[in-house]
Structure 1
């Protein structure tokens, strides 16, 4: 059943949804899309009618557990628009039957339900995750089962006395592919959860936080720590921000990605080891033991080139994590900190490292490399001689700053409401964040029950990211989750590789970043290719509306597609495209192809362009559906 509603799903009615006579046009060009000759593309999609719904309106359903003060304020969106809006902003789009279910249950009751994912049964997702072999594995298990190619090479060289045969080379190439196999499973599981989970708001926020605390899979061994990282983010996605911040700071993925695991006190700076060693009797014996241990390390290094290379790296303070912690994770770029603050925070976090270094293990604090000197951070004094608690105090300080509340509230509002969120809403959300000591659930509640969230300006105001586009397409057509990496690869080819953003700032949360001529063409081609049955697991005949619409005339099919896929309201340009079966933007640039969905390991890349186009040219109802998936109304949320 969709969205865990107790009532059984009713069949979608065939009647065409009611359209408002007051609809006006909002152009896609407002998102800095390229100017083109296609008037349809520039005309955009229909924005909602004006008018105010009943305060805190519950649509033919149970009353919500509790209504916030925000939820009791008047809303500009109509009742039907509110249903569409929450399903596109707080979920990855509706599945067949979801609109009717939310209408019966009530918008506010549904929001309250989604704010408590722990109360929602999600057995389908649990069973689906059980089909993945690696998503529950630890970094240590992954390193043992899928070792990096250079580790395998060293092992082969030792066995062959330094000689690597042709057979060994082939084995190494296979091992190199295997060493990234688990990353494909993790990316696939991310898309699968977005498609099938009943806990849709949780999935939206997991996507948000994993982007906020971005980690790049392509840096060295970072990929081995990502399954643990995904579990860490999920655990705190709707919890307390300080707890989330601390969990991320200690996560092997973040420690490795931003190099804090290698950050140690600069020479000349005091550390905890001398202080504690001198305070103990037998310091000379301790020194002798340290000398023996150091010699053992040197002996191992002589036998292991990888350790030699690590030892040759510059040792000392590393500011990478400290800088991003303030600029990207908490205060924001204009958060009032200085370069000296960055240095002091980096010093406070020295010794926060990995138990076994690049080999993994959990978080460990090593006092012997921790900068134990006195520090001043954001005007607050930190006395000398403190250990791991000093780093914890720094995180406390950053999480409690007013700038952090404003920065997090602004980013959440940008994701959930508008590319340019209203300042008044950001201020109220920041106030909630401060009042609740960083309660993410309550901060989100303030945003998603606000009049600004349900304003006419917010309706269809956001452009879907590639991840959102693919997930919403599969949900709209009631396609099963794809347990292979293929669907995640489509997300990547559309421009958003999962865990593939190299810089720590994450993917943009504004529509203009996703829109250029090539991106638009890819999105339109994507819709046509999906409708032609060329995407893994998607069969148009399995779409519940297909059987009803297949026997109708063209006009009735267009009306049915508008109702069931596009929320019942489209611009005249979109309707014209669906009726004629011709997209002017696409026609001006050649017929669509399925290159986005072509596996480079298949034989299809050897096909001629004409032959490839012939395999993906939908007709009839499939063509209408494909064009609808590429329409502005579907590309927006």
Structure 2
């Protein structure tokens, strides 16, 4: 199939005027490297990189194991799925078919007594659904009427509230054991109908494993989706809190490159291990190792259906039958096509349809051992198409005793092809330099890729040290995706994510859920896919909710942000005074704060209001420097209008559209008498408007 040219091939070099690139200042270079290789700079982090040196900072980031990450490690302890094997995920978060298999006696119940008690709830629901569907010989239906269903719901809600009250009365460490000892119908009613503050408080005081038990009981039709929810929340925490930012950025890049769709079938329980075992360990290593790790992952085999592929002349297809008849099954070319078109050489990589078919034959036998139960990667020689293959103009021999080696040879060759070096370099440059990356830079990166046998670190170093990466032409020219925007909003405001589940839900609403891209292309990362008025209004809506502490119970302190921003201001000409501020590592360092707004904006001195000072500090803290005069004026105009909570939805939408369309001339609205906002409300609104400004949407 034909892909978008933006993702699948590099564009032909354009004739450009031979004009020298204007280099960045040292401060701008620190901002550039933080904007491109973290999920947003935190307050004071530019100063930290300047003090350390941008090159030294980047070199340290390329060795993630040398960086302590204890804080995020403690938070990740709340997500046991990160440490589970796929078969453990299946057992802990049973899908509906697993419950059915246990009910029919085809699978045993778990040996762990507490997990077995969780399964009893699913089994009880399964049996009840069968009973409700029964029809007697005389035609009498057992299905409850709507009135009976509503009455039962009220009874179950009362039961859930009663049990919650009883659980609050006992020690929190004994609550889950108490719940699991109750009659199965009570467990089911509680898990499904406990609500409101009771639910929030009880879940918050469960251990991570107890929360898994609760969610497994609460899911009416299988709980395997919870594994992806845990994985998504953990990813969000890593993006915001991890000190190993380059590793996180590159893990995200490579997952998107080797995309799998998490909700597809058994990938619900394979995706956590896929990211942990096939992507993260190789994100800064050799490309060949990364390619082979993804190829041998059950998640990829399931996603692109290679586990269903059977050689036409293989033993599994009747290839050894004396009558010569075949079983009618054959090749599945999905993975063979995508591994060339999307993972290695690119759509214009020089392969033909015959090469796709031959590679599909080479990769027959690459399968999964019982994917429904979370089995491991398996090479099945009975499915492998025997014989040598003519592929990409060369013959690849087949070893009857080791058919898997034929696939390893082919994938290794793909990893070393010049087309692959160019395509991967182009995608890296598109992510970190420009939507339309400079061809000369891509060529130099590709040369390094080949010379180092696909050493990802060395390719990144060539890019980061290049004149293009460090030029004003490619400074603040990349639009943030929803994932980058959301993470950077929390990082820029030094806000600890108290409700990562709400953040995951926000990403779904913004159209970029973690592990949720159905197509193998992965998410597109260019501005044309994410920069539009509707998207900007959604982002401003989020910023308003966050700064007003109306975002999923998330606490936000704009006065603290202002204080941190004051202590993190850069040195500028004009009046300054030294203060002390906490650095990113908890140490105290000397910084300076600005005494004059005019010195920041380069204007003649003018009367300075407290709001002017606060806005300048917020702009420097959140954006890295002043916003445009037009955006600044529009922010003042918005603050002069009534507070958001005093307006109708349509009025608020109109205000948000004004921010989103700063490049469009807006007619001035006549001034209306109003009560001035309180200082805290003003500061909250200023913060939201800067977060929603066009300048914050780029990196």
The match for 1:504 is: 520
Distance of 2:629 and 2:342 partners within structure 1: 42
What is the CA-CA distance between 1:218 and the residue it aligns to?
A: 2.0
Distance of 1:531 and 1:177 partners within structure 2: 37
Q: Deviations over 1:89-120 (max 9, x none)?
A: 01111112211111111111111111221221
The match for 2:652 is: 591
Q: Is structure 2 residue 237 aligned with structure 1 residue 187?
A: no
Q: Deviations over 1:474-531 (max 9, x none)?
A: 1111111346422111122111010001000000021111122321211121222221
Distance of 1:187 and 1:354 partners within structure 2: 25
Secondary structure, aligned partner of 1:376: strand
Matches within 5 A, 1:381-460: 381-386=395-400, 387-460=403-476
Q: Is structure 2 residue 276 aligned with structure 1 residue 215?
A: no
Distance of 1:630 and 1:362 partners within structure 2: 46
Secondary structure, aligned partner of 1:591: helix
Distance of 1:481 and 1:398 partners within structure 2: 41
Are the equivalent residues in 1 in contact too, given 2:305–2:335 (CA < 8 A)? yes
Structure 1's 161 and 155: CA in aligned 2 closer, same or farther, altered over 3 A?
farther
The match for 2:89 is: 142
Q: Deviations over 1:278-308 (max 9, x none)?
A: 9xxxxxxxxxxxxxxxxxxxxxxxxxxxxxx
What is the CA-CA distance between 1:253 and the residue it aligns to?
A: 0.7
Structure 1's 155 and 381: CA in aligned 2 closer, same or farther, altered over 3 A?
same
What is the CA-CA distance between 1:364 and the residue it aligns to?
A: 1.3
Structure 1's 162 and 625: CA in aligned 2 closer, same or farther, altered over 3 A?
closer
**130, 138, 158: which one pairs with 1:163?**
130
The match for 2:57 is: 110
What is the CA-CA distance between 1:83 and the residue it aligns to?
A: 1.4
Distance of 1:274 and 1:363 partners within structure 2: 24
Are the equivalent residues in 1 in contact too, given 2:311–2:364 (CA < 8 A)? yes
Secondary structure, aligned partner of 1:570: coil
Distance of 1:453 and 1:583 partners within structure 2: 40
Are the equivalent residues in 2 in contact too, given 1:188–1:488 (CA < 8 A)? yes
The match for 1:573 is: 630
**231, 252, 260: which one pairs with 2:298?**
252
Secondary structure, aligned partner of 2:28: helix
**311, 321, 344: which one pairs with 2:335?**
321
Q: Deviations over 1:68-93 (max 9, x none)?
A: xxxxxx96111221111111101111
Are the equivalent residues in 2 in contact too, given 1:418–1:462 (CA < 8 A)? yes
Distance of 1:260 and 1:538 partners within structure 2: 47
Q: Deviations over 1:224-257 (max 9, x none)?
A: 1011011121100000100000000011111111
What is the CA-CA distance between 1:633 and the residue it aligns to?
A: 1.2
Distance of 1:434 and 1:548 partners within structure 2: 45
Q: Is structure 2 residue 84 aligned with structure 1 residue 133?
A: no
Distance of 2:329 and 2:640 partners within structure 1: 59
Structure 1's 485 and 176: CA in aligned 2 closer, same or farther, altered over 3 A?
farther
Task: Give unmatched runs, 5+ long, in structure 2.
Answer: 1-5, 7-18, 106-122, 133-143, 145-184, 193-215, 568-607, 657-678
Secondary structure, aligned partner of 2:538: helix
Q: Deviations over 1:380-433 (max 9, x none)?
A: 101244511000001011101100000000000000000000000000000010
Distance of 1:434 and 1:497 partners within structure 2: 34
Q: Is structure 2 residue 693 aligned with structure 1 residue 631?
A: yes
TM-score (norm 2): 0.68
The match for 1:526 is: 542
Matches within 5 A, 1:246-395: 246-266=292-312, 268=313, 315-386=329-400, 387-395=403-411
Secondary structure, aligned partner of 1:143: helix
Distance of 1:464 and 1:548 partners within structure 2: 22
Q: Is structure 2 residue 281 aligned with structure 1 residue 235?
A: yes
The match for 2:667 is: none
Secondary structure, aligned partner of 1:142: helix
What is the CA-CA distance between 1:127 and the residue it aligns to?
A: 1.6
Task: Give unmatched runs, 5+ long, in structure 1.
Answer: 1-30, 32-50, 53-73, 279-311, 596-616
Distance of 1:75 and 1:362 partners within structure 2: 53
Q: Is structure 2 residue 681 aligned with structure 1 residue 619?
A: yes
The match for 1:605 is: none
Are the equivalent residues in 1 in contact too, given 2:314–2:382 (CA < 8 A)? no
Distance of 1:546 and 1:177 partners within structure 2: 48
Secondary structure, aligned partner of 1:353: strand
Structure 1's 553 and 161: CA in aligned 2 closer, same or farther, altered over 3 A?
closer
Bigger relative contact order, structure 1 or 2 (CA pairs below 8 A, ≥6 apart): 1
Secondary structure, aligned partner of 1:178: coil
The match for 1:63 is: none
What is the CA-CA distance between 1:358 and the residue it aligns to?
A: 2.8
User: Mean Cα displacement is larger for which, 175-184 or 114-123?
Assistant: 175-184
TM-score (norm 1): 0.74
Q: How many residues align?
A: 509
Distance of 1:580 and 1:162 partners within structure 2: 59
Q: Deviations over 1:25-45 (max 9, x none)?
A: xxxxxx9xxxxxxxxxxxxxx
Secondary structure, aligned partner of 1:176: coil
Distance of 2:71 and 2:397 partners within structure 1: 52
The match for 1:298 is: none
The match for 2:660 is: none
The match for 1:96 is: 43
Distance of 2:390 and 2:316 partners within structure 1: 17
Structure 1's 583 and 141: CA in aligned 2 closer, same or farther, altered over 3 A?
farther
Q: Deviations over 1:118-142 (max 9, x none)?
A: 2212111222211212221111011
Distance of 1:146 and 1:583 partners within structure 2: 52
Structure 1's 82 and 547: CA in aligned 2 closer, same or farther, altered over 3 A?
closer
Q: Is structure 2 residue 562 aligned with structure 1 residue 545?
A: yes
Distance of 1:164 and 1:354 partners within structure 2: 36
Distance of 2:304 and 2:52 partners within structure 1: 45
The match for 1:86 is: 33
Structure 1's 543 and 132: CA in aligned 2 closer, same or farther, altered over 3 A?
farther
